[in-house]
Amino acid sequence: MRPAWRLATNSLWARRSRAGLLLAAVALSAALVTLIAAGMGTLNQSIALRLQATVGEAQIAVTPTGLGQTLDRGLLEQVRAFDFVTRANGALQTSVSMQATRPIYQPRADGSWSLKDEALRATVLVTGLEAEAKQYELLAGRKPTGANEIVLDALAAERLSWRWASEAEKKFGFGFSDTDTDALFSKAPKNDALAPSLDNEDAARAINDAQRVRVGDRLRVRRLLGSGPELLVVGLARQPPLGGRPQGYMTLEGAAALANQPGRLSQIDVVLPDEQDANAAAETIRASLGGVESGVLVKTTERVTSGLDRNLRSSQLGFALVSTLAFLSASFIIMTGLTTDVAQRQRELAVLRCVGASRPQLAQAQVFVGLLLGGLGAMIGVPLGIGVAWALISSFPDQTPSGLVIPWWGLTLSAGGAVLAGVLGAAWPAWIVSKTSPLEGLSVRARPARASRMALLTGFGLLGLAIQLSVVMLPESGTTVFWLYVFVGMPSLFIGYFLLGVAAVMLVTLVFSPLIGRVLALPSRMLPRQVRSTPYRHGFTAGALMTGLAIMVALWTEGGALMRDYLGKIQFPDAFVSSLFLTEDAQATLDAMDFVDRTCAITIEPIEVDAFGIRQLQQYRTSFIAFEPREFFDITQIEWVEGDRDRAIERLEAGGAVIVAREFQVAQGLGVGDTLSARKNERVFDFEIVGVVTSPGIELVSKFFNIGEEFNQQAMHAVFGSRDDLKNRLGSDQIHLIQIDLADDADDAEAVAIIRRELFDYGIMDAGSGRLIRDEILGFMRTWLLAITTVAVVAMVIASFGVANLIAAGIEVRRFEFGVLRALGAQRGLLARLVLGETLIIALAACTLGTAMGLQGVLAGQRLYQALFGIEYTIRPPIDAIAIGWGFVITLSLLAAGPSAWRLMQRQTRALLASKT
C-alpha cells in the first residue's frame, strides 16, 4: 500500500465518529440529487407519454384554420401521396354528452332506502382514430373496432359513477382527477338481485358507490332533440397525466357518425423519416393543399414535445441549481471538516515530516481522504435516493404512468458529484499541508488568526455579492439577464456569502456572545475567546449551514409575492360554463334562470406575439379574449392602469382595438395609443391599444379547464377584444365560455348544480365557481411551496452533520484545555454549555447569512420576472416563514452538537489531561 493511502485510511479509522458524520453528509447530498433527478426524469417521461397519446409521433400537423372547423377527408389521401411521408393518420374530435342508467338506492322519510333508476351523465371529448394510431394506454379491455364501440379514459369512467354524481353538486371539482383506478376494476353489483328496498344505510351506500361504468356496459348518447345511439364500452384507458377533461376514443368512422360529420377530419398527423427536413416538407404540403387561403393550416410540430422540452429545461435548470447548491454545501462541509482534521493533526503531521514523510505524501493523503469519503458517500447515497424515489413514485401511479425513470445525467451528477465534492473539499487542506514546515506544524496552535486575511476574505465575499447584483440589474435584455444569472450570478452569490461566513461569525460573536454567555452562565470572556481562536472553521460551517435557509427564505418570499400581487388580485365572475363550443341557445337558457342576473359570451382564441419569454427555452402564446364589451365590463372587475372604461368600450365596438394586460406595458413599454401586432394562421393583424388593465382571471380560467394543453402552448398574457373583431378578423364565431353573474342571494353550489343539469344537453364540458378556481390555484401554489420547503429542510439536515463534525473536532483539539479547566474547578456542565454556546454562534451567523442570501436571490427573481414575463411584485419578507426557518437551523444545530457535548460531560478529568501530546 502506498504511504499516502495508508496515512489516509489510518486518519479515517482513528477518527471514526467524525468520518461517519462527513460520510453521512456526502451520502445524503448524493441521495437528494438522485431523488431530484429521478423526479424530473419521471415527470418528463410521463408528460412525453401524455403528448404521445395526444398526437403520436407526428412532425407535421394539418389542421383547419379556425376552432370548431373540420377538413375534408380527401386531404388525407393527398398527404399520403407524398413520397417523403412515412405515415399520415386522420383524427376527428367531438364533444358528446353520455349517460348510463343505474339502479340507485334513495333515502325515504321512514329511514329506509328504495331502489330507483338514475341517469349518470358526463360530457366526454371523443376522438376518432384510425386503427393503427397509438394514442392512449389501455388499462383494461381492447381497442374499438366497430362504429358503436368506445374506450373511456379513467376520468370519464369516474365521471360516469354515482360517487361522482352524488359529490359533484357539493364540491364541483375541476382539473386533475384523483381517480382511484382500482375502483374501475371492482366487481359490479348484480342489479337483478338487488332488493327493492333496504333498511341498512351502510349497505345501500356501498351498493350506490359501486355503481359505475365498466367494460361491457352500454352508454346512451344524449342529443339536444332526444336520445342518440347506444355505445358499448370495450376498454378503459389511462387518463393522460396532465389531462383535465374526460376523454373517449372511437374508430374514425364511429366518431364521424356520432358527430354527423361523415368524410370530415379535425386533424391530420404526418410522420416523416428521421432524415427528412420537417420545415421543407411542411412547405411542400402547404403549397399543395392551398394553405390558409383554402382553410388549411400546415405547421411543423417538432414532434410536439420540442416546445415542451424547452419549457422543461428551465424547470430542470432550477432543480439543477438546487442540486448544485446542495453539493456546494457538501463540498464546503467536507472542506471545513478536513481543514479541522489538519489543524488538529498539525503536530502529528509535523512529526511525520521530521521522520521523513514528504510534503506530497501528506498532501496526497488528504486528497485520498476526500476521495474515500466521496466514493463511499456515492455508493450509499445513490441507492438510497433511488429507493426513496421509487417509494414516492409508486405512491402516485396514476400521475406517473412511466414508472420510475432515472436519467443518466442524474446518476452521473449524484455519483460523480459526490466524488468531486470530496476531492475538491480536500484540495484546500492538501494545499495547507504541502506548504507547512515541521516547525510551523509544531507551533500552529499558538498562532492567532490574521486580521488582514480575514479582511481580504471579507472583501472577496462582498465582491461576489456585487457581481451577482451587477449581472442581474445592469443588462436590459431579459434573456441576457437569465443566462448571466445562471452561470455567473448564482455561483457568485453563493461563494460570496460563504466567504462572508467568517465576518458574520465574528460580528455575531461581538453582538450576541454577552447575552449567550449570561443565559448559559459562562465566564464573560470564555465564549468569544473560543470562537475567535478558530474563526475560519466556525465561519465556513455557518456558510455551509445557511444554504437550506436561503432556499426557504427565497421561495417563500417570492411565492408569497406572486400569490399576493399576481394570483391574489385575480377577480373572477361568480360562475362559468365551458365547452369546446356553445350556442346562443345555451346562453339564452342561462339568462332565463331566476338566479342569473346577466351573462357574457367569451371566446378564447390563441394568437402569437413576440413580447415575452426566452425564445431558446420557451414559446409563449397569448389569448385573444373576445367578448361583448358592455356586458363584459358590467360583470368583470377590471383595474385600469391606462385608459378609461367608456372610451375603451366605444373603440372596441368600433373595431380594430384591444385592451392589453399590464404585462405588455411592463415587458415592452406598450400603452394606450400604441399598436400591437398579432399573428393568427400566418396572417398579421394590427390593433390599437385603447386600455391597459390588470385582470388575469379569465385567462387563468381557460387554462384551468384545459391544464394539459397549458404544458404545450402557454398563454401567459391576455389581450381583450370584441367578438366582432373575432369574427371579422380572426375568422371564428365559437363560444368557449359563458361568464355568469349570479344574484346576490344565490347559493353557489346549488346554482352550479342546476346549471350543469339544465345545460347538459348542450354539451358543456364543465361548470363551476370562479371563487373555487382561485382557491384551488392558490392551494396548488401553497402545496408547491411546502414541497420545496422540504428540500430546504433536507439541505439543513445535511449541513447539520457539518456542525456536528466541527463541534466534535473542536472538542478533540481542546481536550487538554478542557481537562485543565476541570482540574481548576470547572463543572462538567460548564464545558457542555460552552460547546452549546459556540453552536448558537454558528447557527445565528448561518441564520443571518441565509436570510440575507435568500432576500438577495429574491431581488434577482423580481428582476427576471419583470424582464421575461412582465410580472411585477413587491418584496415583503415573510416574517413567520423566516422565523420558522431560523427555528429549524438553531434546533438542528443544537441537536447535532448535543451528542458531542454529552460525551464531553462524561469524560473523566484524567482522560482529558492525558490527551496532551
Q: Is 509 helix (H, G, I), strand (E, B) or coil?
A: helix
Asked if 102 contacts 218 with a C-beta cutoff of 8 angstroms, the reply is no
- Consecutive H or E run containing 538: helix 535-565
Smallest CA-to-CA distance from 607 within 658, 567, 572, 652 is with: 658
The yes-or-no verdict on residue 326 having pLDDT over 60 is: no
The strand pairing partners of 100, in sequence order, are: 120
Number of C-beta neighbours around residue 217 at 10 A:
16
Q: Is 598 helix (H, G, I), strand (E, B) or coil?
A: strand
Which of 172-176, 201-205, 345-349 has maximum average pLDDT?
201-205
Q: Pull the grid cell for residue 52.
A: 404521445
How far is 659 from 717, CA to CA, in rounded Å? 11
Average pLDDT over residues 492-498: 89
pLDDT tens for residues 702-729? 443 443 333 333 334 568 888 888 888 8
Amino acid occupying residue 259: A
* Alpha helix (H) residue ranges in 729-823: 748-758, 770-813, 815-823
Smallest CA-to-CA distance from 421 within 118, 107, 808, 32 is with: 32
How far is 859 from 529, CA to CA, in rounded Å? 37
797 versus 143: which is more confidently predicted?
143
pLDDT for the residue numbered 40: 65
Q: What are phi and psi of 175, to 5 degrees?
A: 75, -140
The yes-or-no verdict on residue 575 having pLDDT over 90 is: no
Lowest mean pLDDT among 470-474, 644-648, 814-818: 814-818
Average pLDDT over residues 434-453: 62
Q: What is the DSSP letter of 414?
A: I
How far is 751 from 754, CA to CA, in rounded Å? 5
How far is 37 from 19, CA to CA, in rounded Å? 27
Burial, 199: exposed, middle or buried (Cβ in 10 Å; 0-12, 13-18, 19+)? exposed
Q: Is 612 helix (H, G, I), strand (E, B) or coil?
A: coil
Close Cβ partners of 706 (under 8 Å, ≥ 6 residues apart): 244, 245
Between 417-435 and 359-394, two packed helices, what is the crossing angle to 10 degrees? 160
How far is 732 from 800, CA to CA, in rounded Å? 61
Sign of the Cα pseudo-torsion (589, 590, 595, 600, in order): negative
How far is 721 from 535, CA to CA, in rounded Å? 64
Sign of the Cα pseudo-torsion (734, 706, 170, 227, in order): positive
255 versus 132: which is more confidently predicted?
255
How far is 80 from 133, CA to CA, in rounded Å? 15
pLDDT > 90: what percent of the chain?
Answer: 11
Q: What letters, b where the CB count within 10 A reaches 16 and e where it falls short, cover 732-752? A: bebbbbbbbbbeeebebeebb
Q: Is 604 helix (H, G, I), strand (E, B) or coil?
A: strand
Amino acid occupying residue 502: V
First to last CA, the chain: 28
Asked if 752 contacts 767 with a C-beta cutoff of 8 angstroms, the reply is yes
Average pLDDT over residues 184-205: 78
Task: Categorize the per-residue pLDDT at 255 as very low, low, confident or very high, splitting at 50, 70 and 90.
Answer: very high
Asked if 113 contacts 105 with a C-beta cutoff of 8 angstroms, the reply is yes
* pTM (global) more than 0.75: no
pLDDT tens for residues 93-119? 888 889 888 888 888 888 888 888 888
